[in-house]
Amino acid sequence: MSIGKTIGSVFSWIWSLVDGFRKIVHLLVMIFIFSIIISVLMSSSAPIPGSAALLIQPAGRLVDQMAGDPFDRALEELLGDVEAQTLVQDIVDGLEFAKDDDRITVVVLDLSAMPGGGLSKLSRIGDAIDDFQESGKKVIAKANFYSQGSYYLAARADEIYMHPDGVLILSGFGAYQNFYKSALDKLKIDWNIFRVGTYKAAVEPYMRDDMSPAYRESLSHIIEQLWSQYTTDVEAARNIEAGTIDNILENLIETVQANDNDFAQLALTAGLVDGLVTHNELQKIIVDIAGSNGDDGEYPTASLGDYLQQMRLLHGGSVAAENVAVIVAAGTIMNGTQPPGTIGGESTAKLLRQARNDDSVKAVVFRIDSGGGSAFASEVILNEVLALKAAGKPVVVSMSSVAASGGYWVSMAADSIYASPYTITGSIGIFGMFPTFQRSFEELGISTDGIGTSVWAGALRVDRALSDEAKELFQLSINKGYDNFISGVAEHRDMEKEVVDGIAQGRIWTGNDAFENGLIDGLGEIDAAILAAAELAEMDEGEFGLKYFEQELSPGEQLALDILAGADGLGLTFGALSRPSSSVERVANMLEEVLAPLVMFDDPKGMYSQCFCEFE
């Protein structure tokens, strides 16, 4: 045998060995992937016991729409690194299903991880609790510590329990924010401000070091209404004397001293809770109602997530031959395509357009939870609302906690507008801001010079002072924007323009005020809006479906998440890949929240209709 043939035989043998190894690895990878896929296909939620307590554990803030890109959020959930949020609709649906489900004997409302939520959202869940209780089943609330928001829900329960060392914190409603005028002066930044509206206070932090008297008056009117409603609702739900909560707060030190300096005992004495019990003692109380798992002394539970997954699968979708579309827009209004939790002019318009082009959709409910933002993006969305109406599809707006400024702009052309009595709306006004840093640069020894063919060349450079002509031009544009806003409200709401101007000027209103002022058509939650939309489309109750339009995962993203979820089902957890935020990162996140109002502006014309008016 020649040397060449020998070498060829050796390489052939080596290649066969490598190829065989490659095939084995390929086979193992395929077996692994198929195992994951089988795990996904065979996975299901935990079985619901024949007799169980429905465990509802809201975590994080209550929202109408989960914030963040759907793929990123789902991936973060798998990694255990997602910001806690709870959909209001999930809790409402869970209570609705459980009401007539014989397997659910009691609802346990664990409020330990819920800091709060807008009063309208809390009220909506409270109404769902009341409706559930009509079945004769109990709702038991528990927590080590109750915040003001979580206690509002607890008050609607049949029984409220707290740990003996716990605290119930009621402080009243407040509205506080940072003001930057002195800081801007020290930094030698000229923050040029243009606005229309006596009460348009979104710009005040950049021009004052405190609230203006007009804004203070407006906020006082709002928070006093909301606090009065809060205390009235809680005291009625707890069947305690009207004025009890205000009396406790006005005499808090004396009241605490009278209860041996024990905050938990104070809550019990005042009738705000029904018992101070340890975890083991509470376990026995619930076992007496829901029964026991056996020797472990635990009561059988069905978590809200598992329960909803099973019940929604069992009952099927709510889509029918004819539907009311539901589109949620939550967050700041910005230009372009934005992830859920922020309202993108283009992305939200796309959802409205999809509903318009869907022959099964006969009417649309547009759910708004926004303090506004870009005037341009608001107009883009408004155009799609008008296009829906022109296509013969009625549009009904359902206002959530906030639908003010741009949030009202996108609402005003609807056939009908519903809001909760607790909704914050109005703030009909326009502003623009243009900071220049020439004095800051001069302090550093940096100067700017040049020439242009007109006074407008280089007029909008941030390293040059804004000229008087440019300031006048800005203000003219803002004036026109405000005139367009109130003219649009007058046209779509069938009001006199002068009347609109009188209730506009950037002033915020509660849902009750808005109804009296003609800015909305009715007081009610999203269910009332859905029925109104169906009626406008001449669809009979019970004969139409609901079709939700929202940003969805692509097939590739869904497959990737299914594979990761399947791997997790096989015991390959990914939580170790995430890490807790460092102290520096947490401080940076806090700083980002403080500076967010300074950097979020993206309107091409520099005009904004925004209300920084969320408070509790």
Contacts (Cβ under 8 Å, ≥6 apart) of 508: 199, 218, 219, 222, 404, 424, 425, 426, 427, 611, 613
Contact in structure between 155 and 238 (CB atoms under 8 Å)? yes
Higher pLDDT among residues 240 and 613, named by residue: 240
DSSP labels, 86-105: EEHHHHHHHHHHHHT-TTEE
Placement of tokens 């009417």 in the chain: 363
Find the distance separating the first CA and the last CA of the chain, reported in whole Å: 91
Q: When comparing pLDDT for 610 and 125, which is higher?
A: 125
CB atoms within 10 A of CB 75: 17
- Tokens read off for 314: 């069992």
User: Residues 6 or more apart from 526 whose CB is under 8 A from it?
Assistant: 124, 326, 365, 367, 398, 418
Element (H, E) at 7: helix 3-42
Residue 454, CA distances (Å) to 460, 468, 470, 477, 553 in order: 13, 14, 12, 20, 50
| Residue 405 annotated among the catalytic residues of the structure | yes
Residue 312: per-residue pLDDT:
87
Helix (H, G, I), strand (E, B) or coil at 379: helix
- What is the model's pLDDT at position 543? 87
Average pLDDT over residues 529-542: 93
User: How distant, in Å, are the alpha carbons of 108, 252, 286 from that of 274?
Assistant: 15, 20, 14
Low-confidence winner among 292-306, 447-461, 529-543 (lowest mean pLDDT): 292-306
Percentage of residues in the chain with pLDDT exceeding 90?
64
Question: CA of 228: how far to CAs of 252, 423, 532, in Å?
Answer: 18, 14, 29
pLDDT band at 187 (very low <50, low <70, confident <90, very high): very high
Query: To 10 degrees, what angle do helices 468-493 and 375-390 make?
Result: 30
User: DSSP letters of 348-378?
Assistant: HHHHHHHHHH-TTEEEEEEEEEE-EEEHHHH
**Structural contact between residues 365 and 329, judged by C-beta atoms closer than 8 angstroms:** no
Residue partners of 176: CB distance under 8 A and separation at least 6: none
pLDDT tens per residue across span 321-330 = 999 999 999 9
The tens digit of pLDDT for each residue in 341-389 reads 999 999 999 999 999 999 999 999 999 999 999 999 999 999 999 999 9
* Identified catalytic residue from 200, 362, 393, 547: 200
In 3D, which of 522, 565, 437 has the Cα closest to residue 38?
565
- Which pLDDT does position 560 carry in this prediction? 54
The whole model's pTM is what? Answer: 0.84
pLDDT > 70 in the chain, percent: 80
Q: How confident is the model at residue 592 (pLDDT cuts 50, 70, 90)?
A: low
- Can you give the pLDDT at residue 188? 94
Check residue 465 and report its DSSP letter: P
What's the chain's average pLDDT?
Answer: 85
CA 113 distance to own-chain centroid: 17
Catalytic residue among 378, 405, 411, 427: 405
Residue 545 and residue 351 in contact, taking contact as beta carbons nearer than 8 Å: no
